[in-house]
Amino acid sequence: MTEIDYSGNPNQRTPCVLVLDASGSMDAKTSSGKTRIQELNEGIQALKAELQADDTALVRVMLSIVIVGGPTNDAEVLMDWTDATQFQPFPLRADGTTPLGKGLTIGLELIEEAKADLRANGVSHTRPWMIVISDGDPTDSGDAWQNAVLECQSAEAQRKVEIFSIGVDGANLTTLGRISQKPALSIQSVKFRELFVWLSASLSAASRSRPGDTVSLPSTDPWRNVGI
Amino acid sequence: MANLFCQQCGQSCPPTLRLCPACGGRSLAISRPLDQAHSLQSSAKAPSPSVSGRQQPINSPPRLPVDPTVVGGDHKVLAGRWPRLFANVIDTFLVALASSVVSALGNLVSTQGATGEALYGGILVLSSALLPFFYFTYFHRGPNGSTLGKRLFGLKVVMQSGAGLSTITAFVRVFLTLIVPVGGILVLGGAAILPAASELPSLQLMGGLVAVMAIMICLLGPYATIFFTDQRLSIYDMICKTIVIKREVA
Least confident of A37-51, A111-125, A127-141, B214-228: B214-228
Does B59 score more than 50 pLDDT? no
Count CB-CB contacts under 10 A for residue B69.
21
Nearest Cα neighbor of B193 from B180, B216, B205, B211 is B211
Q: Among B16, B17, B27, B28, which would you mutate to test the A interface (most chain A Cβ atoms within 10 Å of its Cβ)?
A: B16
Q: Which of B18, B23, B24 lies closest to A80 in CB terms? A: B18
Which chain B residues are closer than 8 Å to A94 by Cβ? none
pLDDT band at A160 (very low <50, low <70, confident <90, very high): very high
CB B182 within 8 A of CB B212: no
Least confident of A69-83, A169-183, B6-20, B112-126: B112-126
Q: For the whole model, what pTM was predicted? A: 0.55
Which chain A residues are closer than 8 Å to B249 by Cβ? none
As a whole number of angstroms, the distance between CA B106 and CA B171 comes to 26
Mean pLDDT of chain A: 85
Would you report the helix, strand and coil content of chain B in percent, each value rounded to 5? 55, 15, 30
Which chain A residues are closer than 8 Å to B19 by Cβ? 72, 76, 78
pLDDT digits (tens, 9 = 90+) for A134-156: 887 899 887 899 999 999 999 99
Which chain A residues are closer than 8 Å to B162 by Cβ? none
- Residues of B near A (Cβ–Cβ under 8 Å) read 1, 3, 13-14, 16-24
Considering A124-128, A222-226, B33-37, the range whose residues carry the highest mean pLDDT is A124-128
Nearest Cα neighbor of A197 from A175, A219, A178 is A219
Tell me what the mean pLDDT of segment A108-122 comes to.
Answer: 94
As a whole number of angstroms, the distance between CA B35 and CA A107 comes to 36
Give the helix/strand (H/E) hosting B159: strand B155-159
Hey, are the CB atoms on A91 and B17 less than 8 Å from each other? no
Buried-state track B171-205, b at ≥16 Cβ within 10 A, e below 16: bbbbebbeebbeebbeebbeebeebbeeeeeeeee
- Residue B44 φ/ψ, nearest 5 degrees: -70, -35
Q: How many beta-carbon pairs below 8 A join chains A and B?
A: 46
A169: left (phi over 0), alpha (psi -120 to 50) or beta: left
pLDDT band at B98 (very low <50, low <70, confident <90, very high): confident
Tell me what the mean pLDDT of segment A32-55 comes to.
Answer: 85
Q: Among A79, A85, A113, which would you mutate to test the B interface (most chain B Cβ atoms within 10 Å of its Cβ)?
A: A79
Hey, are the CB atoms on B3 and A88 less than 8 Å from each other? yes
A82 to chain B: nearest residue by CA?
B16
Degrees, nearest 5: CA angle A73-A77-A83: 145
Q: Which of B16, B20, B22 lies closest to A86 in CB terms? A: B16
CB A126 within 8 A of CB A140: no
Buried-state track A151-169, b at ≥16 Cβ within 10 A, e below 16: bbeebbeeebbbbbbbbbb
Count CB-CB contacts under 10 A for residue B104.
11
Long-range contacts of B25-31 (CB under 8 A, 24+ apart): B28/B4, B29/B4, B29/B5, B29/B69, B29/B70, B30/B2, B30/B4, B30/B5, B30/B65, B30/B68, B30/B69, B30/B70, B30/B75, B30/B250, B31/B5, B31/B64, B31/B65, B31/B66, B31/B68, B31/B69, B31/B230
pLDDT digits (tens, 9 = 90+) for B30-51: 777 665 555 555 544 444 433 3
User: Shortest Cα distance from B73 to chain A (angstroms)?
Assistant: 10
Buried-state track A109-144, b at ≥16 Cβ within 10 A, e below 16: ebbebbbebbeeeebebbbbbbbbbbbbebbbeeeb
Q: What percent of chain A has pLDDT over 70?
A: 92
Tell me what the mean pLDDT of segment B145-165 comes to.
Answer: 86
Question: In the prediction, which pLDDT does A75 show?
Answer: 94
ipTM of the complex: 0.84
Does B206 score more than 50 pLDDT? yes
Chain B interface includes A76 (CB < 8 A): yes
Hey, are the CB atoms on A91 and B20 less than 8 Å from each other? no
Considering A107-121, A178-192, B233-247, the range whose residues carry the highest mean pLDDT is A107-121
Hey, are the CB atoms on A71 and B17 less than 8 Å from each other? no
Hey, are the CB atoms on A86 and B22 less than 8 Å from each other? no
Least confident of A51-55, A183-187, B99-103: B99-103
pLDDT band at A79 (very low <50, low <70, confident <90, very high): very high
Quote the DSSP letter at residue B130: I
Sequence-distant (≥ 6) Cβ neighbours of residue A204 within 8 angstroms? A51, A54, A56, A57, A61
Question: In the prediction, which pLDDT does B189 show?
Answer: 66
